[in-house]
Amino acid sequence: MRFAIIALLILYFGPLLAQFAVYAASDPQAHWSRADRSQVGLAPDPAKEKAAVVQIYAARAYRWRGVFAVHTWLAIKGENAVNYTRYDVIGWGRALRTGIGQPDSRWVGNEPMVLFEARGDAAAAMIPKIKAAVAKYPHGGRGAYTLWPGPNSNSFIAAIAREVPGLKVALPPIAIGKDYAPDWLSVMETPSNTGWQISFAGYAGLGIGSVEGIELHILGQTLGIDFLRPAVKLPGLGRLGLSRSPVL
């Protein structure tokens, strides 16, 4: 038992300390008002891609928060639409924001990655369900955002994914808030809808699913193993091993 506890502490705090060392050695990020928000070319150009598109993105959070967390967001484009609609949950003013424009911009200087993508008929079938799920999201009002343990941007994406079974997204291990639940004890589907998890209000929990693998949730961070696409999931460092294709 003592060995197991020591191993767990090392696996939990070791990666966090390593990621913090990387952050401390990096050049300071620009003030958020001057941060790079340019596009990175991950979103299909609506002028060329006429099919419907659904994408979910993640990028490291701003400054020291990026050691522990990512910000995630969702973008959709209907068939023949000339613009994307982007949904973000942020920590000031009204939590849920809807915007028009390109979805693949850097998040306060940090480069995004695509967590999920669907195009064509599959995306077109999802879009009405996504809009309905966004409309009934219960934590989108002013003052509804809570950085830890949630509800936050990652709680939003997880909630929408649970409402739309085709959104089989694997949220990053450092997506603090993805396991948030309003009750002290909740049994619910994993965000990918491929398994089940127990959540103690987002502070701790356990989950298993074919997309997520086996996960232990501690204070918003994840320790886990993905057996189908061999990888380990560690606090701070994220997923190490084979990457999971984001394309449906």
Cα separation, 42 vs 245, whole angstroms: 14
**pLDDT tens digit sequence for 169-186:** 999 999 999 999 999 999
Contact 67, 236 (CB under 8 A): yes
pTM: 0.95
**pLDDT tens digit sequence for 151-175:** 999 999 999 999 998 999 999 999 9
What pLDDT, on a 0 to 100 scale, did the predictor assign at position 28? 86
- Long-range contacts from 110-114, C-beta under 8 angstroms, 24+ separation: 110/59, 110/60, 110/61, 110/62, 110/66, 111/40, 111/59, 112/40, 112/42, 112/57, 112/58, 112/59, 113/42, 113/57, 113/58, 113/59, 114/42, 114/55, 114/56, 114/57, 114/246
What pLDDT, on a 0 to 100 scale, did the predictor assign at position 234? 97
In a domain, 140, yes or no: yes
In a domain, 119, yes or no: yes
Contact 70, 172 (CB under 8 A): yes
Give the chain's domain count.
1
Domain range for 218? 2-241
In a domain, 248, yes or no: no
What pLDDT, on a 0 to 100 scale, did the predictor assign at position 17? 96
Identity of the amino acid at 231: A
The ranges of the chain with pLDDT < 50 are none
What pLDDT, on a 0 to 100 scale, did the predictor assign at position 102? 84
What pLDDT, on a 0 to 100 scale, did the predictor assign at position 101? 78
Cα separation, 165 vs 171, whole angstroms: 15
Cα separation, 76 vs 142, whole angstroms: 24
Closest by CA position to 238, among listed 117, 60, 111, 24: 60
In a domain, 247, yes or no: no
What pLDDT, on a 0 to 100 scale, did the predictor assign at position 4? 86
In a domain, 51, yes or no: yes
- Contact partners, residue 13, CB within 8 Å, separation at least 6: 235
Q: What are phi and psi of 84, to 5 degrees?
A: -90, 150
Cα separation, 241 vs 222, whole angstroms: 15
Burial pattern 141-171, b for ≥16 Cβ within 10 A else e, equals: eeebbbbebbbbbbbbbbbbbbbbebbbbbb
